[in-house]
Each structure stands twice: as structure tokens, then as C-alpha cells.
Amino acid sequence: MIEQGEIYLADLNPVKGHEQSGFRPVLVLQNNALNNILNTIVVAPITSNEKAKGKLITYFLPKHKTMLDKDSIVLLFQIRTIDKRRLRKKIYRIPQSEITDIKKQLGFVF
């Protein structure tokens, strides 16, 4: 079962314009009730590009707190819905306290 707060490696290709592309980690944002009944899932792409650090509507994930290779940034301004078949491998699950912080950041989007 896919759960909110889990980080997966996902295939985000094909894309258009400025969308994040490639095989990259994504953070599952969608709640567990919807995760159980839908074939799609709402995620935010994750980048290790330091230029994104500190930008509005991002969330920093230090590598020592995750199973990611590098310090990373969740791009909350790039949330998107993808088919579950794009998810390849579960990497990690962030703590509930961080999910709560991320939901506060999403308030700027909505």
C-alpha cells in the first residue's frame, strides 16, 4: 500500500515545458484513503539542485534524515498527479511531524 509521506523513485517522463523530468524521487502528498481507491496519486518531485533550497514553497530534506543520496528539496510548487505505475521503488517514509510541516507549506499553493 502506498502511504502519504513515502518517498518513491518515479518515472516522470514524458513532460512539457518546465516540469521536472526523468527518474527521480517524489514525495506522496495524497491522503491514504484516496491512495487505496484511486489508480492515480498526487506527488511532489524532489531535487538535489541546491538552487531550489530556500525558495518559497519548498521543503528541505537533509540526507542524514532520509535514504536519499544527497540533501534534497521537495518542490511543492510542482505537485502533479501521476499514475501509480510510474512509481518504481519505495525509498523512505518521512515522519508525521514533517508531513504536518509540508501541509503548512502547501497552504501557500492553495
Q: What is the pLDDT of residues 18-73, one digit of tens each?
A: 777 789 999 999 999 999 999 999 999 999 988 777 777 899 999 998 889 999 99
CA dihedral 57, 110, 36, 42 (to 10 degrees): -50
pLDDT band at residue 76 under the 50/70/90 scheme: very high
Rounded to two decimals, what is the model's pTM?
0.92
CATH of domain 6-106: 2.30.30.110
